[in-house]
Amino acid sequence: MSDNALPKGYEPRDVESRWRAHWEGNKTFTPDLDAPGEPFSIVIPPPNVTGALHMGHALNLTIQDILCRHARQKGRKVLWVPGTDHAGIATQNVVERGLAKEGKGRHDLGREKFIERVWEWREEYGTRILNQIRAMGASVDWTRERFTMDEGLSRAVRQVFVKLYDDGLIYKGDYIINWCNRCHTALADDEVDHLPRKDHLWQLRYPLADGSGELVIATTRPETMFGDTAVCVHPEDERYTAFIGKMVKLPLTDREIPVIADNYVDREFGTGALKVTPSHDHNDWELGHRHKLEFLQVIDENGVMNEHAGIYAGLTKEECRKRVVADLAAQGVLVKEEELDHSVGHCYRCKSVIEPHVSTQWFVAASKMAPRARAAVPAATQIFPDNWEKTYYNWLDNIRDWCISRQIWWGHRIPAWTCGDCGKLIVAVDAPERCACGSANLTQDEDVLDTWFSSALWPFSTMGWPDDTRELKTFYPTSVLVTGFDILFFWVARMMMMGLHFMDEVPFRHVYIHALVRDAEGRKMSKSTGNVIDPLEMIDKYGTDSLRFTLAAFAAMGRDIKLSEERIEGYRHFVNKLWNAARFALMNLPDDEVPAPVDLDTVQGLHHRWILHRLEEMKESTDAAIVGYRFNDAAQGMYRFIWNEFCDWYLELIKPDMQAGGERKAAAQHVLLTVLRETLTLLHPIMPFITSEIWAALPGNAGTDLAVQPFPAARPGCVRAEDAARMELVQGVIGAVRTIRAELNIAPSLRLTALVRTANEHDRQVLEENRQMLLVLARLENAEFGPAIEAPKASASNVVSGNEVIVPLTGAVDFEAELARLDKELGKIEKDLVQVNKKLANESFVDKAPAEVVAKERARAGELADAKAKLEALQQRFREAIS
RNA sequence: GGGCGGUUAGCUCAGCUGGUAGAGCGUCGGCCUUACAAGCCGAAUGCCGGGGGUUCGAUCCCCUCACCGCCCA
């Protein structure tokens, strides 16, 4: 036995920190650009600097790491770029909250000081998320870490802005946009969450100006009525045709507004008549332009009513609504108030209600860039699973121009200057010194760009664009983007547009959309619900490998993951199992030198031949599963192989070999080491730490790193399906004896005798050759095999592929139990037999089903009938014995 | 309103191109068997959401209904 055995328990903490330090210190994951091998690259979805690692990140990183480590094993040149995102609004909010504690606002500091403050903040906390990426074991290239506000990336942003402006794809103008009063900035359409909300629908009486009647309109926003500049009905709505073209009096004001007609109106909703407020509603904005209405703004950018609201000026929009409704009710204008379930836009950063607001903003003409991005899927970029294609198309087909200016300070400032003298607008990469008119009186636009604008460039900006770098040449387009569906629009579609425009090539060949991680009840994890499972806490308690394996095992394509701590705890048992298997192996292997090799193609011993065969199958299936993004198959396949085959059978079967010594031991050592080495390699992408640790402890591996070992080569000579079948027979006989023992309550310590009346010479020979396996694993003192074996009358029995397994019973045995057991067994067989016979009796089945299927059923019917007959005979004999 | 997905063992979920329903966890029974009690051996459990259709044959394909979830308007 070895004296440098592994410690009794696996201690993830020490092991993980050691390997992390080793990999980072040695720059193990920095690719050699001159190395041979096909490139494989991934850019990390950059987490927010404000962020802390959550389960979504943990899953995202695990998947990417599996892909990268696997690609390295397959000899590819792998680059995985890490980095973080400056997250404009979110980060600014965090720093502003900090300031608020000091009783200050950002305006008290001024722009420059405030930005300095944000940078300080990011220096302090920006590394936190990076260390959490480290904790996950992510094999990123730390020498290429990027931040969206880096000098290089900022230059890329300015360059892109200027180019798009020159190409006519960026423009500035007054439009209605989504305004967050709290964050005090414009938001893009997809940054608005539509959340369900109980509200009211009020019906209001608008009298005709000529006194000839009245029109009842329905609205959810009475406070905006001061901005009404029309009432709209459906042109074919007979209730209202007479009103079209007339004027109505706007209550609470002295204004009169026209009644217009437009197909946009839903006749079924409310009263079929609606008030039109072009400055405060997206649809009304469209109506306003179509019908050339007046645009009247009544709510300011703080959510306060302005002078157009008359006596309501100065009230917040919420207060104003209450007062207006009360006053309308008092004046008899309010006809009806009803409950309404609808959805209302909320800021995705702060969850306050979004106000449609007209202002001067910058836009990307996304509608012009979308068609190319659409056409690239699936021709140049494939989405996995492909049902997301539809969602992708749907969004691009309905895309509106993208509002990219934000009225905050933290971010890439828009590279546009206005001349104070001639009014000319200058858009340039670097700050211009003077205007063409000669004036030096230039002021830069106050706004910054949407964070997603810089994220959209990530796949090429991180590789050094606009310079023509080797990284770009080698690694662009990236191989795959791994992300959640929640940012398919924000990010994926925009990267496609930008990549195609600037690189003339898609940014990634594949997009793998992974699941959302939910809690055990299927709810989204959120701090407010309090159902968050913190990955760092899980890592601390169970180790990173347990967490990674759990996530991989549940990462079935296209399905959400319901996670609970118990699952992670459960997979820690697997980690422990592997550790102990390795300990056992090491105890039975020489300390330093590699055991003398034997020829694996011709090695004797069914257990060796079988496990080597299974190992070949595992290589193929694991590789196929990872390449096909079926991580759950990869994980579960390894789990079963290691636990149910390698540990439960193989390790048990080599124990006698190890005791026997000599050549038998030498062969067992060599096969054991081979299987363990290659199994660790296969498992390494999912569980990098424990596999590396065990690897380094194996004889001959001291000082080597599993992370740089190649994928185990195929060993065609070891593919032997017939040995797998032989093994199955042996396992079946062992199982039959074990079942008898357990069901008849025979003590495990009692050594039994087993007799097998064999079905044919082949089976007899297999059992004979593997007598020792049966003796050890079925706990027998004796075993006999042959075609003419007669069962002693008092014996329990079972049938395995036509072989009658007989266990003579001695001493006190529960005879009734054996009878009941045989009845149960026969019941099962009969049930199957009836079903199969029914099938075979069906003429059209025999007629129309493929010949091989029919043949298979016939064979099965024969087997079942045979087993039935044998069992019945055995049962009869047993009855005679006990009567 | 439009789109997507789900419904399989007590729980969580696999089940690729239709051909004998699987796993993990949990449950029950028996074991300290020299790597592992975080373990070993054995067992039980399913109108594969309802209805209809295609087919010799449907968990799988088509239609429909119900319930649940998500996205977009």
- The 10s digit of each residue's pLDDT in A670-724 is 999 999 999 999 999 999 999 999 999 999 888 899 999 999 999 999 999 899 9
For the segment 331-360 of chain A, residues whose CB is within 7 A of strand B: 343
Question: Which residues of A participate in the annotated binding site for ATP?
Answer: 527
Which range among A72-76, A168-172, A305-309 shows the weakest confidence by mean pLDDT? A305-309
Residues 363-422 of A with CB under 7 A from strand B: 387, 390-391, 394-395, 398
A743 touches strand B (CB under 7 A): yes
Confidence tier at A731 by pLDDT (50, 70, 90):
very high
Q: What is the 3-state secondary structure (H, E, C) of A152-168?
A: HHHHHHHHHHHHHHHCC
How many angstroms is C1' of B63 away from CA of A378? Answer: 30
Q: CA-to-CA distance for A602 and A743, rounded, in angstroms? A: 40
Q: How many Å does it take to go from CA A647 to C1' B11?
A: 27
From the Cβ of A656, is strand B under 7 Å away? no
| Beta strand ranges found along A382-447 (DSSP E) | 382-384, 402-403, 405-406, 416-419, 425-427, 442-444
DSSP state of A269: S
The band of A738, judged by pLDDT with boundaries at 50, 70 and 90, is very high
A656 CA to B1 C1' distance (Å): 71
**Cβ A584 to strand B below 7 Å:** yes
State how far the alpha carbon of A867 is from the alpha carbons of A601, A800, A829, in Å: 36, 8, 8
Please tell me the predicted confidence (pLDDT) of residue A559.
66
pLDDT category of residue A775 using cuts at 50, 70 and 90: very high
- Give the closest nucleotide to A522 (alpha carbon vs C1'): B69
Instruction: Round and report the angstrom distance from CA (A740) to C1' (B15).
Output: 31
Whether A456 shows a pLDDT value over 70: the answer reads yes
For A146, which DSSP code?
E
Give dist(CA A73, CA A691) in Å, integer: 14
Q: Does the pLDDT value for residue A3 go beyond 60? A: no
Feature table: binding site of A? 527
Amino acid at A83: G
ipTM of the assembly? 0.93
Q: Are A733 and A754 in contact (CB under 8 A)?
A: yes
Instruction: List Cα–Cα distances, A662 to A31, A436, A565, A658, in angstroms.
Output: 45, 93, 47, 9
Q: A355 has which bridge partners? A: A179
